[in-house]
């Protein structure tokens, strides 16, 4: 965190890189994720609860400007809401995993040419709940924490017109939450008055909650999105 803070301060003071004009970019799409890990005080494996190939909607929107010192802004929304009912030899199990969250990020462009590097800080607001009911237990907890997170984006234009590739991530180890959330992406934009195109990639989110009933979950899988920039 000290390294990130130093980089942000250096960018703010010296204005290493900033957008030449006001710009808006974003994407909206669907993330197909599998679940691994466990939930509950008895560490019940989620693969025994039937979670696989879940559909999660998401939206990202960034606003960039040429004013030095003032950070750019990014808003992200991910809807994660799944429930399952399965039958075991010893009885049935009912569960739900809701990890819907909104990220508000302030970031600086450290590099802004064919290779771009953004560093910043996010506030992630979770609004969800995890529950598990089996013959042995009936547990539930709200997931409604506000988490400060480090943010980074590294992106490069490929030597093919319109193509770019990158990696993006958030990280925190705060209070009873440890979250690592990263994306590997490949994007193609048509060059027009409003650039638009498609983005494909892979996202992995690991969340370890050590309060309440407890949870140690990994959601990962491919995604596809409609992307735009102007």
| Percent above pLDDT 70 for the chain | 91
Left (φ > 0), alpha (ψ -120 to 50) or beta: where does 43 sit?
Answer: left
Instruction: Say how far apart CA 40 and CA 128 lie, in whole Å.
Output: 15
Note the Cα 170 to chain centre separation in Å.
7
β-strand partners of 96: 83, 131
Residue 8: what are its φ and ψ, rounded to 5°? -65, -40
Low pLDDT (below 50) residues in the chain: 1-19
How is domain 2-229 classified at the architecture level of CATH? Beta Barrel (2.40)
- What pLDDT score was predicted for residue 12? 40
- What pLDDT score was predicted for residue 194? 74
- What pLDDT score was predicted for residue 5? 41
C-alpha dihedral over 161, 77, 35, 133, to 10 degrees? Answer: -170
Q: CA separation (Å) from 172 to 91, 147, 150?
A: 38, 7, 7
- What pLDDT score was predicted for residue 20? 61
How many other CB atoms sit within 10 Å of the CB of residue 160?
Answer: 8
**Is-contact 128 56, C-beta < 8 A?**
no
List of residues 6+ apart from 3 with CB closer than 8 A: none
In this structure, what token pair is assigned to residue 93? 């199990």
Q: 34: buried, middle or exposed (CB in 10 Å: 19+, 13-18, 0-12)?
A: middle
Give me the residue spans of the domains in the chain.
Answer: 2-229
Q: What would the pLDDT profile of 161-189 be if each residue is shown by its tens digit? A: 889 999 999 999 999 999 999 999 999 99
| pTM (predicted TM-score) | 0.87
DSSP H or E segment with residue 180:
strand 177-190
β-strand partners of 119: 108, 152
- What pLDDT score was predicted for residue 3? 40
């Amino acid at each position: 965190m000290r390294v990130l803070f130093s980089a942000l301060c250096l960018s703010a003071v010296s204005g290493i890189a900033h957008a030449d004009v006001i710009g808006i970019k974003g994407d909206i799409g669907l993330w197909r994720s599998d679940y691994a890990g466990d939930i509950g005080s008895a560490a019940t494996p989620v693969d025994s609860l039937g979670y696989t190939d879940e559909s999660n909607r998401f939206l990202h929107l960034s606003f960039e400007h040429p004013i030095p010192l003032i950070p750019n802004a990014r808003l992200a929304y991910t809807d994660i809401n799944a429930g399952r009912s399965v039958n075991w030899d010893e009885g049935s199990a009912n569960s739900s995993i809701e990890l819907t969250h909104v990220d508000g990020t302030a970031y600086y462009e450290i590099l802004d040419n064919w290779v771009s590097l953004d560093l910043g800080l996010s506030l992630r607001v979770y609004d969800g709940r995890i529950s598990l009911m089996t013959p042995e237990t009936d547990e539930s907890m709200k997931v409604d924490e506000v988490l400060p997170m480090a943010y980074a984006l590294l992106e490069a234009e490929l030597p093919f017109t319109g193509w770019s590739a990158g990696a993006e991530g958030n990280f925190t180890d705060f209070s009873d939450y440890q979250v690592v959330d990263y994306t590997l992406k490949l994007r193609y934009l048509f060059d027009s008055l409003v650039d638009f195109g498609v983005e494909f990639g892979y996202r992995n989110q690991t969340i370890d909650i050590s309060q309440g009933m407890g949870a140690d979950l990994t959601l990962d899988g491919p995604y596809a999105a409609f992307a735009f920039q102007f």
